[in-house]
Amino acid sequence: MALNDGLLDVRGLRIGFPGYDGTSVEVVKGIDFSVGTEKVALVGESGSGKSLTARALLGLIPRPAQVSAEHLRLGDSDLLGLSARQWQALRGTRLSLVLQDPKYSLNPVLKVGKQVEEVLVLHTRLGRRERREKVLEMLDAVGLPNPSALYDTYPHELSGGMGQRVMLAAMLINDPRLLIADEPTSALDSHLRDQMLELIMDLVEQRGMGLLLISHDLPLVAKYCDRVLVMYRGQIVDRCHAVELAAASHPYTRTLWSCRPSAASHGQLLPTLSRQLLEEIA
Ligand SMILES: Nc1ncnc2c1ncn2[C@@H]1O[C@H](COP(=O)(O)OP(=O)(O)OP(=O)(O)O)[C@@H](O)[C@H]1O
Ligand SMILES: [Mg+2]
């Protein structure tokens, strides 16, 4: 397991939405976790609070949600109470977010090269020539062929897999310490999924970064990550080493693992979760 050097430290994170009667509906209920220079997966069923947790770490929680925590630290900085301008300075430089589908993240009317370069324009004082050089290097580093031709293409000319690589290039060009990836491969065909995940893992390792990967794909998590946090209804109910997923002792983690579809289970009913059991142990 990689060193946990306390890149990100989250204590008592709560996220709530105002309810009809003036009360708050809590969807993330006081969770604690940390991420160092390592690959940590956040898994759990739909609606368990994974994406909202990731968004809170980037200051991107949708209104009217409210975030509170005992602390939310990235290195020496406390993220709680940052202004909009401070969040903007942080995103793309010290931490970055890769989302599911490049269609929604890339600007359709801006050439690919310009889009990756935009991050440098916003966050560095590099000159035009240096920026272009850095963009070409980064497009090459994410495995895109012929970067100088690609620089002048528009997002619609790219396949989904290429678009996702462009996104990754934009997110990594400023050397963030922590990458948060929310289902980064679920819009891709299965053969591209492994390639993309492998690329993310290689880059994270090469650059000595931390990764928080949100995924529904437990076999991929077991293959690529170091540790796993299991979320259920706004709480982290289990934590384990990724290699231990197949032999997890927590009933929820066990069910998540055994619910994964595979060629062997084709045509058979997948196991379902006993909610009652979970209520007892939660
Ligand atoms: N804008 C909103 N207003 C009210 N409730 C919301 C809002 N956004 C999310 N929620 C609720 O917060 C809970 C957690 O949502 P979140 O998107 O974090 O789930 P998730 O674990 O990422 O699920 P998935 O695996 O489907 O992406 C869900 O129950 C959802 O209904
Ligand atoms: Mg989500």
Residue written as token pair 């600007």: 107
- Closest C-alpha to ligand 1, atom 12: 27
Residue located nearest, by CA, to atom 29 of ligand 1: 47
Of 136, 159, 175, which residue constitutes the final position of a domain? Answer: 175
Query: Is 47 part of a structural domain of the chain?
Result: yes
Question: Does the pLDDT at position 202 exceed 50?
Answer: yes
Same domain flag for 161 and 51: no
Please tell me the predicted confidence (pLDDT) of residue 106: 85
> How far, in Å, from the CA of 50 to the mean position of ligand 1?
8
Tell me, yes or no, whether 5 lies in a domain: yes
Cα(77)–Cα(111) distance, rounded to whole angstroms? 34
Q: Are residues 21 and 89 in the same domain?
A: yes
Q: Which of the listed residues 118, 141, 175 is the one where a domain comes to its end?
A: 175
Protein residues within 5 Å, CB atom, of ion ligand 2: 51
Task: State whether 209 and 105 are in the same domain.
Answer: no
In a domain, 29, yes or no: yes
Question: 171 and 37 in one domain?
Answer: no
The verdict on 89 and 118 lying in the same domain is no
30 three-state secondary structure: strand
CATH code for position 197: 3.40.50.300
Domain that holds residue 236: 1-94+177-240
* Residue 256 is assigned to a structural domain of this protein: no
What is the rounded average pLDDT for all residues in the chain?
89
As for ligand 1, residues whose beta carbon falls within 6 Å of it are 17, 27, 44, 46-52, 62
| pLDDT value of position 261 | 63
Judged by its nearest atom, the ligand closest to the C-alpha of residue 44 is 1
Tokens, residue 116: 């990756």
Alpha-helical runs (H) found in the chain: 50-57, 84-90, 102-105, 112-123, 128-141, 147-150, 160-172, 190-206, 218-224, 251-258, 275-281
Instruction: Report the domain count for the chain.
Output: 2
State in Å: Cα 28 to ligand 1 middle.
Answer: 9
Q: Is the pLDDT of residue 11 over 70?
A: yes
